[in-house]
Amino acid sequence: MDLGSILHTIFNFENYGELLALVQNSIWAGAVLGLLGGLIGTFVMKRDLAFAVHGISELSFAGASFALLIGADIIFGSLAGSVAAALLLGLMGVRARTRTRSLASSCRSG
């Protein structure tokens, strides 16, 4: 293969009309995710849960990659990783919440 055929394969615009539906769906998905992210993000920041949200998303990818490794459904693995992370962070958060409140109240009073 020469450089010309490689560039023609990469920059092939003969089926350009088929991509318009993909672009339209991508714009709709971006708009919906932007609205939902803005609404949910305020609650995440209000409750100081940015670390928890980041941890859940990381373990979601870990669950998906583990499912791919064992040959299972990737979506099921992602959901399993997310639920496991949420449960673990929830269990840790129950104990840490009382310590954080007592620390915050002692800092405010002193």
Phi then psi for residue 15, to 5 deg, are: -105, 40
96-102 contacts: CB < 8 A, separation 24 or more? Answer: none
For the chain, percent of residues with pLDDT exceeding 90:
37
Neighbours of 24 (CB within 10 A): 10
Contact 78, 60 (CB under 8 A): yes
9-18, 41-50, 100-109: least confidently modelled range: 100-109
pTM score of the predicted model: 0.54
Is the separation of the CB atoms in 79 and 63 below 8 Å?
Answer: yes
Predicted confidence at residue 20, as pLDDT, reads 84
